[in-house]
């Protein structure tokens, strides 16, 4: 079994290694991580947006929140075409959690405590750890 990192298993119909496949997979992976990060940001947007919809009774915040939900899910769906689903989902929810807590502190006056900041740091460490294992 060939474990060469440059050989991603892509072969021509004749069995010859296809040139540049490792580079292509790296680019796809980077793009998937960018899409996942954006999906996480849109998750923050819709989570905070829920507060402004006032129970979905305010039309404009409701529309913007629903649009953010759809964009977030679509970007996540695109990212999992390349990334493992468990890792992608955990990172997506982690970004959403950290971002929503920080935006809640900044925009909504949510309390800031050492315990909350410590928990945010643990989530960030988990996100980084998952990224490094893929």
What pLDDT does residue 7 have?
Answer: 40
Q: For the whole model, what pTM was predicted?
A: 0.76
What pLDDT does residue 10 have?
Answer: 42
Helix-, strand-, coil-residue percentages of the chain, each rounded to 5: 70, 0, 25
By the 8 A CB rule, do 134 and 84 touch? yes
- Whether 18 is in a domain gets the answer no
**Which structural domain, as residue segments, surrounds residue 122?**
27-132
- Whether 16 is in a domain gets the answer no
Only one residue has tokens 């913007």, namely: 64
- Whether 79 is in a domain gets the answer yes
Which residue stretches of the chain have pLDDT < 70?
1-25
Q: How big is the CA angle at 27 (ends 7 and 91), to the nearest 5 degrees?
A: 105
- Whether 128 is in a domain gets the answer yes
């Amino acid at each position: 079994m060939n474990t060469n990192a440059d050989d991603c298993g892509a072969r021509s119909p004749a069995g010859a290694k296809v040139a540049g496949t490792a580079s292509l997979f790296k680019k796809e992976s980077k793009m998937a991580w960018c899409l996942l990060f954006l999906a996480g940001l849109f998750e923050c947007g819709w989570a905070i947006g829920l507060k402004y919809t006032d129970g979905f009774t305010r039309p404009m915040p409701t529309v913007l929140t629903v649009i953010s939900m759809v964009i977030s899910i679509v970007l996540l769906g695109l990212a999992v075409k390349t990334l493992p689903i468990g890792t992608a989902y955990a990172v997506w929810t982690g970004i959403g959690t950290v971002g929503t807590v920080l935006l809640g502190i900044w925009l909504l006056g949510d309390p800031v405590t050492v315990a909350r900041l410590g928990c945010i740091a643990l989530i960030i460490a988990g996100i980084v750890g998952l990224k490094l294992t893929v």
